[in-house]
Amino acid sequence: MTQPKAPNATETETETQTDAETRRTLHLCNICGFCTGLCAVFRSAERRPALTQADLDHLAHLCHNCRACWYACQYAPPHAFAINVPATLARHRARSYRRYAWPRPLAGLLARSGTATTAVALFTTLLVPLLTLLWVPGEVLFAAHRAEGAFYQVIPWGLMSAVAGLTLGFSLLAVAVGLARYWRDIGRGGPPAVSVWRALPAAARDLFTLRNLEGGGGGCNDRGERPGHARRRLHHALFYGFLLCLAATTVAAGYHHFLHWQAPYPFFSLPTLLGTVGGLSMVTGAAGLIRLKRGADPAPTAAETLPADYALLGLLLATAATGLLLLALRQTPAMGLLLALHLGTVLGFFVMIPYSKFVHGAYRAASLLRAAMERPTDRPTGLDLT
Amino acid sequence: MPPEPYDVLVIGGGLAALCAALAAREAGASALLVDRAPKALRGGNARHSRNLRIAHDAPSPLFPGQYGVEEFIADLETAHGGHGDPELVRILAQGSAELPGWLQARGVRFQLPERGALPWSRKTAFFLGGGRTLMNALYAAAEDRGVAIRYDTHVTHLELEDARVHTLPCRGPEGEGLLRARRVVCCSGGYQADRRALAAAGCPGALHYINRGSPHVTGDLLLQLLDQGAAPSGVPGTCHRVAVHACSPPEDGGIVTRVDGMPWGLVVDTQGRRFQDEGEVITPRRYSAWGRWVSDTPGARAHLILDDAGLRRAPPSLYPPLTAQTLEDLGRRLQLPPGALERTVQRYHAARVDGGDDPLAHYTTGLTPPKSHCALPLERPPFHAWTLAPGVTFTGHGLAVDPRGRIRRRHAPPCQTLYAAGMIMSPAVLGPGYVAGAALTLCAVFGRIAGEAAARG
């Protein structure tokens, strides 16, 4: 019979075990050194041999989960050392998201990020259309609106922007608080570093090209032992598609405020074109990544982190797909409900930004910047016996 | 009706085997490669390797500077100590030059120094991702080119006799079977995983060795061929060893188990006595030197003793040291004779000559053996110890081959249909010696030669 434990004690124990395994793994990597050319993790680990908890967090967030090191590892199972860098760091990242979550009581959402993301997204995706059905008179909701301001006849602009602004504002604040604490922690006790400004170009290049998904040039091991570039390209499609959609929204806001043009905009207008290309790109990227993950070798995967990955990909896919659907059918009587559906997915996304896998981008960017700051000053220290 | 024989059968799964199979297949032969290891541990000891020694006339993206064929030959001559066949030595040095291009065309990637890859070397090129990534690329290339591959399959006997078609018994996942091939390339390595064989060949302390590489490289085919009259090369019972942690896994520990930092402390045998000048060798040769020295101690075990200052100077180690507040306590925990460690340290301190700020300039006088460099005091507690054991890498005793890779015989001309490549014949080139990256280059160069020669018959 097992002794019941206080939830906190169990929590701390698992935490310590995760740290211990990450430390054991990266300590062995530091002594082996065969993977130094594959990505930023290994050289950064050599610069932080003490492997404090902040070091481990930093290194875990530098890992882009390309798995090249799994297939390279002479110590992977069935070897007695049973080293599994990708799965260990994926597990560590999941813990780290949670540790830096703000406000603390909501950190629990990240414990079951997959379920939470799915549940919240489904809830908002159903809630918004339901409220719309309840509040908006049928003859308005199911009319074919074609004029400028058509969307706002269904859902008033003020309400739409207030809800969006509040949820997005809170989420960005939550990410910023966690990120600030993370940035402070990984900067403590690290090796000598140049200023943020000097490192920024290199960090931006690493971030925007996903250089660490190249496996040092040969590509990453998306599915198995043969490297390829599918994962990096699909991530680019999703990420840049997302940026295009963000640009579409920003341009549209500009039209609204400064030019007093109201949505919907014609197909050959800047917001619509940006949103269309962005949406298609996001759908391609998200669907492709889901497919890739499903076909991936389970050995280097931390299975318990997969639900969070799928939930975020699914949410982004739903957001983009409903947006495209709205665009296609915006001149039909289905527009009203499709608008509500799309806004429901967007709302779910806004709410879950800090509590879903989406936060990985913030921590990854911070770690890439920190790694770039530490890179130029990297020189052998002490007496070289070679 | 037995199955149609393959043109070329390659025995082994390391770098020589893959190069032989690729070269044979690309020359138009049908090729079967059988590896004794399971798929997860394929690649022989190339899994644990990381660099190739390559001659190059001019700087390239892979190397700074220049390393000519003649300089490579001179390095090999220093290492083989008269045991290397001069013709094969030249073939190795010359053949190395085209290896990077040949391997790159088959999917292998190298670390480019400008991308910040360390360590940095004029004479050797490092694989991106190390030896296992190298082998994954070559296995993929072999599959793509139609080489048949069987894992977990052990060829149990090889007759040193030419035949139109060789029939070889093997043991695989489906039990006993027979393999048929017109020509055979044997790339099954030395006998370092078989400690009894190593001891029988005259290697002191071999029964106490840790094997750093694959447990499947027992050299049974090599020993059978030698018994049947194959011409030997190298020196029986010799092998390359480095000092590793005595607590390492008995097999397959690779590079991480080695111990370094001996100049920062004292090394004592199981009686608590020093036996070697810890400051004598501080170049990269120190690894194999300590392997040899530890082998020669009773029971092939020794202890590296460091004080807290020495521990800080020593490179990071896989295992934490055994730590105690006093030398007495440390000696007790290492099960040394009472008082032995304290006496050794006292004598050492009495013989120390302070060299000022440069740690290398400290030495001893009137002490046997002396400590010629880094003779720093051993006085700041806590005190630490790592127990050392010899970790064997490969044997310095193998087959002799002709320049086409055909197995030579003691009392007959070379075989026409039996070839050997890789560590099974490396002593024919390197003798019992070691040059960083040269053995791996040898595997690739002679693997290609033997594979192609076997395909052309």
> What digits encode the pLDDT tens for the residues B10-30?
999 999 999 999 999 999 999
* B133/A77 CB distance under 8 A: no
- Report the C-alpha gap between B354 and B356 in whole angstroms: 6
Residues A128 and A58 in one domain: no
pLDDT digits (tens, 9 = 90+) for A32-82: 999 998 999 999 999 999 999 999 999 999 999 999 999 999 999 999 999
Q: Is A121 exposed, middle or buried (0-12, 13-18, 19+ CB in 10 A)?
A: buried
**Domain co-membership, A160 together with A307:** yes
Cβ pair B123, B437 in contact under 8 A: yes
Q: Amino acid identity of A287?
A: A
Whether A3 maps to a domain, the answer reads no
Give whole-number Cα distances, B116 to A37, A39, B55, in Å: 8, 11, 22
Is there a single domain that holds both residue A32 and residue A180? no
Domain that holds residue A119: 107-374
Chain centroid to CA B18: 18
* Cα–Cα distance, A367 to A26 (Å, whole number): 16
The DSSP result for A138-198, as a single string, is HHHHTS---STTHHHHHS-HHHHHHHHHHHHHHHHHHHHHHHHHHHHHHHTT------HHH
Whether residue A71 and residue B317 make contact (CB cut-off 8 A), yes or no, is no
* Nearest-angstrom CA–CA distance, A271 and B334: 75
- Three-state SS at B63: coil
pLDDT > 70? residue B131? yes
Name, in order, each residue with C-beta under 8 angstroms of A158's C-beta and a sequence gap of 6 or more.
Answer: none
Inside any domain, residue A2: no
Q: Are strands B363-364 and B352-353 parallel, antiparallel or unpaired?
A: antiparallel
Element (H, E) at B356: none
Given this model, what pLDDT does residue A136 score?
87
Same domain, A279 and A309: yes
Q: Which two tokens stand for residue B325?
A: 């507040």
- pLDDT, averaged across chain A: 90
Residues A151 and A252 reside in one and the same domain: yes
Tens of pLDDT, residues B278-314: 999 988 889 999 999 999 999 999 999 999 999 999 9
Residue A308 lies in a domain: yes
Residue A325 tokens, joined: 């659907």
Q: How much is the average pLDDT of B314-326?
A: 96
Per cent of chain A over pLDDT 70 is 94
* Average pLDDT over chain B, rounded to an integer: 94
Contacts of A218 in chain B (CB under 8 A): 109, 128-129, 133
Q: Are B120 and B65 in contact (CB under 8 A)?
A: no
Residues in CB range of B124: below 8 A, 6 or more apart = B51, B52, B53, B54, B436, B437
Rounded mean pLDDT, A125-151: 85
Specify the higher pLDDT residue, B111 or B364: B364
Domain termination residue (choose one: A52, A75, A100): A100
Query: A192-206, pLDDT tens digit by residue?
Result: 999 999 999 999 999
Same domain, A91 and A143: no
| A360 in a structural domain | yes
- Looking at the structure, do residues A303 and A280 belong to the same domain, yes or no? yes
pLDDT (tens digit, 9 = 90+) per residue, B224-266?
A: 999 999 999 999 999 999 999 999 999 999 999 999 999 999 9
Segment (H or E) for A55: helix A53-62
Handedness of CA A228, A78, A302, A73 (dihedral sign): negative
Question: A222 to chain B, minimum CA–CA distance in Å?
Answer: 15
* Chain A positions touching chain B (beta carbons under 8 Å): 27-28, 30-38, 43, 49, 68-69, 71-81, 215-218, 225-226, 375, 378, 382-383, 385-386
User: Taking 50 as the threshold, does the pLDDT of residue A1 lie above it?
Assistant: no
Q: Which residue has the higher pLDDT, A271 or A18?
A: A271
Say yes or no to pLDDT of A8 above 60: no
Residue A4 confidence (pLDDT) above 90: no
Q: Which two tokens stand for residue A330?
A: 């915006």
A1 located within any domain? no
**Are A192 and A254 in a shared domain?**
yes
Those residues with Cβ within 8 angstroms of residue B222's Cβ, 6 or more apart along the chain or in another chain: B186, B188, B189, B190, B191, B398, B399, B424
B270 DSSP 8-state letter: T
Q: What is the pLDDT of residues B328-356, one digit of tens each?
A: 999 999 999 999 999 999 999 999 999 88
The residue from A45, A71, A100 where one domain ends is A100
Which of A6-20, B256-270, B368-382 is the least confident region?
Answer: A6-20
CB-based contact B140 A226, cutoff 8 Å: yes
Same domain, A211 and A74: no
Asked if pLDDT for residue A381 goes beyond 50, the answer is no
In this structure, are A144 and A162 located in the same domain?
yes
What proportions of chain A, in percent to the nearest 5, are helix, strand and coil?
70, 0, 30
Establish if A382 belongs to a structural domain. Answer: no
Distance to chain B for A163, nearest Cα, Å: 48
The answer to whether B313 contacts A71, with C-beta atoms less than 8 Å apart, is no
Looking at the fold, whether A123 and A75 belong to one and the same domain comes out as no
* CB count in 10 Å sphere of residue A381: 8
pLDDT at B110 over 70: yes
Domain count, chain A: 2
For residues A64 and A157, state if they share a domain. no
Q: Given a cut of 80, is residue B210 above it in pLDDT?
A: yes
**Out of A35, A74, A383, whose CB is closest to B359?**
A383
Q: Is the pLDDT of residue A5 over 50?
A: no
Contacts of A215 in chain B (CB under 8 A): 128-129
Domains assigned to chain B: 6-238+396-456 (3.50.50.60), 260-316+326-380 (3.90.700.10)
Q: How many CB atoms lie within 10 A of CB A2?
A: 4
What is the C-alpha separation between A135 and A122, in angstroms, rounded?
A: 20
Q: How confident is the model at residue A378 (pLDDT cuts 50, 70, 90)?
A: very low
Band the pLDDT of A215: cuts 50, 70, 90: confident
State which of A47, A81, A100 marks the end of a domain: A100
A309 in any annotated domain: yes
Q: What is the pLDDT of residue A384?
A: 34
Instruction: Give the pLDDT of residue B115.
Output: 52
The pTM of the full predicted model, rounded to 2 decimals, is 0.93
Whether A380 maps to a domain, the answer reads no
User: Is B40 touching A (CB cutoff 8 A)?
Assistant: yes
Average pLDDT for B355-363: 91
More confident call, B164 vs A383: B164
